[in-house]
Structure 1
Amino acid sequence: MSTSIEAPDAAARAGMPRALMLLVGAAAIVIVVAGLQVGAWLIAPILLALVVVIAVSPIQGWMRRRGLPGWSTVLALFLVIFGVILGLVWVLLASVGQLIALVPQYSGRISQITSSLSATLTRLGFDPAQARATASSADTSQILGAIGGVLSGLSGAVTSVVFILALLLFLIAEASGASRRLDAIGADRPHMVSALQGFAGGTRRYLVVTAIFGLIVAVLDTVALAIMGIPLVVLWGLLSFITNFIPNIGFIIGVIPPAFVALLVGGWQLALAVVVVYIILNAVVQSLIQPHFTGDAVGLSTTITFVALLFWAWILGPLGALLAIPATLLIKAILVDCDPSARWVEALIGANSPPGKEAKDSKRGRHAEDADADRASTDGPDTPDAPDTPGDVPAAPTPPRATPVT
């Protein structure tokens, strides 16, 4: 009977070859990735708004426990978030405006750098005309055009900011009923509830750790640039704070603008000094110290975070680089954490490898030996192990040894 029952299962499993299943799965992944790229304009703002709401949800819960009505908590959080975003936009626009006004003052310096670059290219064997054409691409008009392109990009980002603020308003209003929704989901899918709670907790820990290290790096960079006499130190400190949310390579993006300004102000020596300072401060903090804390906070290895950065930046654009870790945690919660049979993936992508069976057994044995030793030191030596002396009466009777019957 068991053979007849198992035969259809085996036939069903053998109905689709493993190679075909892998191809179908790969095709499905390609379709999903293509869909994410097409809908990046919508997915990225929604994910950003979700991350912001997760970050401020403890504050909303604290306000509600204080007895404040729901509408007041929603309004207060929305005004705080709106004020922070408005302040960041104002600082960025004001600083970029100062940068535009600063560049024409160094037009002579830019021409000198262009001539030096042309002479260097000619000495390296390039055609003089081609060298002059290459060097002329760095003139003042080109630089101002690039800055104008940045401003046009910022103006286009204002529309996204308005869309994100609208999403924040609705999500904050809906956050008060999240616990009831999770309870309803937990009645049928308890693993999904624990996975979503793990995603929210991991995202919150990641934001706290990254913000703390970003603030440290921003203060150090601002002080160092101010000592070296670089203009617009507030802008570069804010840029260091924002790029700290880009794993592994954020400091490379943050060092380019201040190094260029240092090149205009004090020549290549000052620009080299800025790069060295950023390498010492940012690279050490972001690439050596921070990943250990981030890995412990979110449970992802350094390699996975770097691959996630490249993947989400390719899918969602620049905003995907900032949201790489939260997006990876969300995918991990949906595909891995909610499925007990897929927990083995945690051993591949986790920050710390789980101990093997032998290590667990030996650790369990050590704990047992330690517990026995603690009991022995507390209760004193056992009576049967004490040496027998005439006249001693045992504290507890021990069973006699069995003797062979002849």
Structure 2
Amino acid sequence: MDEEKIRNYFFYLACIVVIIAGVKIASEIVIVLFLAIFISSIISTLIKILDKRHIPKLISYLLVLGFFTLISLLLAYIVNISLKDFITNLPTYEEKLQQTIVNIISLAENYGYSIDKKTILDALNLNSFFGITTNLIGSIGTFLSKFLLIIIGIGFILAESKSFEKKLKILFRKESDKIEHFNLFSNNIQKYFLVKTATSFLTGFLVAITLIFFDISYPILWGVIAMLFNFIPVVGSIIAAVPAILLSFLTSDLNTTLILIVLYLAINIFISNIIEPKFMGKELGLSPLVIFFSLILWGWVLGIVGMFLAVPITMTLKIAFDSNKTTKWISLLMSSVKEG
């Protein structure tokens, strides 16, 4: 490796560090921008589907954007109400949990085990959980305050998309391969976001229906959480399952709780390991190591929203690298390639 290449690599590394630092400083704006871009890619795909059915573009645009706005506001309202009610009833759940733990400790003591009951009960103080739920409500309020800005951003991106394609054709009129690379990148991105959003919605829907069937409190809330946390791989499904399973343990019998655990596992395994690979294709898979570090990086840069956006952002970079022959090797390193 010659000296010039080494200098270039250090230059690119320095640029990446500066860009990440800038993104972290401007995280409030970047989050709105990323959400607007990602949602626009989904909406534009739906508009194309309606366009193939010979529905006028303006009507398609208004229908899809209006439907998205209505559903988002409705879900945010339901989640907000459910969270407030959950916080009101949280002391009751805490008392039930403590009583259950006391019964378990008493049972263990009957078998000759010595357990410090006071230490365990002090450790089960759910004041920190109050803080988490309060922060969640605050996050919903923050989202609603930015929601109008995101919708306006989506509107401008969709309005600009057609003229942007014309600008690219003018800019690269003598380099058709670059336009092909961009189209490939754009199509793969839209495919990924559409499939991931659809499977996440299906996950939340199945979870909510399951919880309604077993009469668990706040099924819509846990369904929305399951939908959102489906964007966080590996740990997301586990974190989303804990509140509903714990609530079932406190308010229902043990058999119901065990059945819910099995159904949660079945839903997530079926969707993550069967449905998503079938529609996305194995070539769009990310390496577990890349996923792990992307969660750390984007969680640090953009906060909790960054953890939800970590895989979509990383997948966007992978698809961008894969769309160009000179950077295809980077995409391969980021891929989940199985032996044989």
Please tell me whether residue 349 in structure 1 is matched to residue 338 in structure 2. Answer: no
1:290-344 Cα distance to aligned partner (Å, 9 max, x none): 4533651763344345544444333323333333343224324555534x33333
| RMSD between superposed Cα atoms in Å | 3.7
Report the secondary structure of 1:344's partner residue: helix
Q: Could you tell me how far apart the structure 2 residues matched to 1:273 and 1:44 are? A: 38
Q: Could you tell me how far apart the structure 2 residues matched to 1:132 and 1:343 are? A: 55
Q: Residue 227 and residue 88 in structure 1: after superposition, are their counterparts in 2 closer, same or farther (change >3 A)?
A: closer
Q: By percentage of residues, which structure has more helix?
A: 2
1:176-204 Cα distance to aligned partner (Å, 9 max, x none): 32331231233255344323322321122
Please tell me whether residue 95 in structure 1 is matched to residue 95 in structure 2. Answer: no
For the Cα contact (< 8 Å) 2:102–2:117, is it kept in 1? no
1:109 aligns to what?
96
Specify which structure has the bigger relative contact order, considering alpha-carbon pairs within 8 angstroms and separated by 6 or more residues. Answer: 2
Please tell me whether residue 133 in structure 1 is matched to residue 122 in structure 2. Answer: yes
Cα distance, 1:164 vs structure 2: 1.0
Of the candidates 211, 217, 225, which is equivalent to residue 211 of structure 2?
225
For the Cα contact (< 8 Å) 2:27–2:301, is it kept in 1? yes
Report the secondary structure of 1:187's partner residue: coil
2:179 aligns to what?
193
Cα distance, 1:255 vs structure 2: 0.2
Q: Residue 56 and residue 88 in structure 1: after superposition, are their counterparts in 2 closer, same or farther (change >3 A)?
A: same
| Unmatched tracts of structure 1, length 5 or more | 1-12, 356-406
Please tell me whether residue 292 in structure 1 is matched to residue 277 in structure 2. Answer: yes
Of the candidates 9, 22, 25, which is equivalent to residue 38 of structure 1?
25
Cα distance, 1:79 vs structure 2: 2.3
Please tell me whether residue 55 in structure 1 is matched to residue 42 in structure 2. Answer: yes
For the Cα contact (< 8 Å) 2:51–2:60, is it kept in 1? yes
Q: Could you tell me how far apart the structure 1 residues matched to 2:67 and 2:49 are? A: 15
Cα distance, 1:265 vs structure 2: 0.6
**Under a length normalisation based on structure 2, what TM-score does the superposition of the two structures give?**
0.79
Q: Could you tell me how far apart the structure 1 residues matched to 2:189 and 2:234 are? A: 18
Identity of aligned residues (%): 18
Q: Could you tell me how far apart the structure 1 residues matched to 2:247 and 2:13 are? A: 47
Q: Could you tell me how far apart the structure 1 residues matched to 2:319 and 2:43 are? A: 20
- Decide which moves more: 179-188 or 122-131: 122-131
| Unmatched tracts of structure 2, length 5 or more | none
Q: Could you tell me how far apart the structure 1 residues matched to 2:123 and 2:338 are? A: 51
Of the candidates 264, 270, 283, which is equivalent to residue 278 of structure 1?
264
Q: Residue 67 and residue 298 in structure 1: after superposition, are their counterparts in 2 closer, same or farther (change >3 A)?
A: same
Cα distance, 1:167 vs structure 2: 0.9
Report the secondary structure of 1:229's partner residue: coil
Q: Could you tell me how far apart the structure 2 residues matched to 1:145 and 1:350 are? A: 38
Aligned residues: 336
Report the secondary structure of 1:247's partner residue: coil
- The one-letter code of the counterpart of 1:98 is D
**Aligned counterparts, 1:333-344, within 5 A:** 334-335=320-321, 337-338=323-324, 340-344=325-329
Q: Quick check: which has more Rg, 1 or 2? A: 1
Q: Could you tell me how far apart the structure 1 residues matched to 2:117 and 2:68 are? A: 54
Report the secondary structure of 2:281's partner residue: helix
Please tell me whether residue 162 in structure 1 is matched to residue 148 in structure 2. Answer: yes
For the Cα contact (< 8 Å) 1:296–1:351, is it kept in 2? no
